[in-house]
Structure 1
Amino acid sequence: MKLILSRKGFDSSAGGCPNPVFPDGSCLALPIPDDQSPIRYSQVRRHGESIGSLVSQLTGQQAFSRRGAHLDPDVIESAYPRLPGWRPVLGQHSSAQAHLANHDIGPGDLFLFFALFRPVERYRRRWRFVPGSRPFHAVWGWLQVADVWPLGDASPAPDWARYHPHLHGERSAQNSLYVSGDRLQIPGLRGDLPAAGAVGALSDQHRLTAPGAAKVTDWRLPAGFMPQPGKSPLSYHHNPERWRLEDSGEYCRLKCAARGQEFVLDLEQYPGVSEWLLTPGLLS
């Protein structure tokens, strides 16, 4: 089983701002802009309401709600109208898909989605980022792969998937969909969890950026992530100078790559990370 730390959501380059953390602790990873997508921000729902005005207010661009939204990964059923048979899904193409293919990502492997977040508040009947608050990286969702569908002419997708942005516009030849199963399957997992979903509320255990860090890419991870001799480290992070074990031995620090979407780790080589995935509340 492989773990993929997958960067998905708004940031300074895609969307232009962090994703919101609401006063109740819930969060929303905003779909990045995509002019080729048939989905508008005004059509995406959160708790039954359009996110169009939210996105316009946080970006400061009134017309943003009419732009195309790259609803991907798509793991929240209520976010958009569905046809029968819908399953949570992630699309990938180009160099990021090549990276996943090179690591043989397939059934049973687990995507753990992270994004850049910042607290928001209501002020004069509008949403704004809390003045003085700082952005941070945090885990917001997951998808365990059941099927991988290459999106070539010879491999048509079912009707329920036709809305997906990766089936519209010009995508690379390596365009693919990662489709989830029904229930999450991790050795040692207690309880019944869906194979894909979003966290209900962010807590310290979802946070990747170290407390008090000057840069959002200064991560604090369980020590199980620390590279070991003879084992492949988290992809894109082979340089030993990126890593440092804290004195307590419980955590390690990582200077996370500022670019790159998919960071892959073989959990057979790093069983301590598998134990971390079983932390109550991490995937719920």
Structure 2
Amino acid sequence: MKLILSRKGFDQGSGGAPSPLFSDGSLFSIPIPDGRTRQRYGDMRHGGHDIGEVVTHLTKGRYTGRSFAHVDPDLHKERIERLEGWRPAFGQTGAAQRHLENQGVGPGDIFLFFGWFRDVSKGRDGVWGPTSGGRDIHAFHGWMQIGEILDLSSGRASDWLHYPWLRNHPHVGRGAEPNNTIYLASETLALTGSFAEGKAGGGRLTRITPVNTLTAPGQPLKSVWSLPDWFGPESGRRLSYHVDLNRWSSTPSGLTLKTVGRGQEFVIDIGDDKRAIDWVSALIASSG
């Protein structure tokens, strides 16, 4: 089995701001902007928060509640009204999709979605902004085990019409586009022997915990991560784009990794390693 650490959500290049960590400990990954879609930030809610308002304030008006969002990965069934048969789905294209193909990613493998988050709070003026002294981190915000893969590169509607609930997905209806691909979640999670076996095939992590925090404790750079020792090159494994041994260092609790720039998909083959499967299970179970 392979794990794909997949960078998704607002960042410096797409959106220009972090996604929020709210004071109640919850998190919300803001989808990147996309003028070709139908879903607006103003239609999104998180608890009692208007995400359109949050986006407006965090981007200083560059994007507003009327701006359109690229909701992908699409992991939250209750976000909008769904057609029968809906499952979580994730689309990829271009060089990032070629990398997934070259790494042999397929059914049974698991995407672990991560992004950039900051503690935010609303000031006395009613404006959302970063909390002084708050966290500025990378963290996991969702998962999806691959059940099926759809090749949409031809642009033909027949490639997805057997899945009518996909019609609003941002990778559907784009016309012919090389490598345009949609990954559909498995019905349930298949992690043999793990305590997360049988959970949904995809979903969101809605709270920030030490388990789903990637940035190493006390690190001023969010791109420096704390990972278990089985991730490292000395285990015989290779995390794609991170084969340079100088990026890895040992710590009493595992490994520290200086991650590469703005790559999207980092792949590692964990086989049937129980330590790795238990780690994935604990991460997914942290969703509640």
Residue 258 of structure 2, aligned match among 247, 255, 259: 255
Residue 198 of structure 1, aligned match among 196, 204, 218: 204
TM-score relative to the length of structure 2: 0.91
Q: Is the CA contact 1:93–1:171 (under 8 Å) kept in the aligned structure 2?
A: no
- Give 3-state SS (helix, strand or coil) of 2:160's partner: coil
Q: Is the CA contact 1:220–1:251 (under 8 Å) kept in the aligned structure 2?
A: yes
Task: Give the Cα separation in 1 of the matches to 2:38 and 2:170.
Answer: 7
The answer to whether 1:133 aligns with 2:138 is no
Task: Give the paired residue count.
Answer: 281
What do the CA deviations read for 1:28-79 (whole angstroms, capped 9, x no partner)? 0000011222222223343486521121122111752222200000101111
Change (3 A) 1:59 1:215: same
Structure 1 unmatched ranges of 5 or more: none
Task: Give the Cα separation in 1 of the matches to 2:49 and 2:120.
Answer: 17
How far off its partner does 1:275 sit?
A: 2.7
Task: Give the Cα separation in 1 of the matches to 2:42 and 2:52.
Answer: 4
Task: Give the Cα separation in 2 of the matches to 1:220 and 1:235.
Answer: 17
The answer to whether 1:23 aligns with 2:27 is no
2:247 maps to which residue? Answer: 242
Moved over 6 A (4+): none
2:97 maps to which residue? Answer: 97
Structure 2 unmatched ranges of 5 or more: none
Task: Give the Cα separation in 2 of the matches to 1:10 and 1:133.
Answer: 18
Change (3 A) 1:62 1:244: closer
Cα RMSD for the two superposed structures: 2.0
The answer to whether 1:111 aligns with 2:111 is yes
The answer to whether 1:213 aligns with 2:215 is no
- Give 3-state SS (helix, strand or coil) of 1:228's partner: helix
- Give 3-state SS (helix, strand or coil) of 2:86's partner: coil
1:8 maps to which residue? Answer: 8
Change (3 A) 1:242 1:3: same
TM-score relative to the length of structure 1: 0.92
Task: Give the Cα separation in 1 of the matches to 2:173 and 2:23.
Answer: 36
What do the CA deviations read for 1:247-274 (whole angstroms, capped 9, x no partner)? x2x3101011122111000011865322
Change (3 A) 1:88 1:216: same
AA partner of residue 150 (structure 2): W
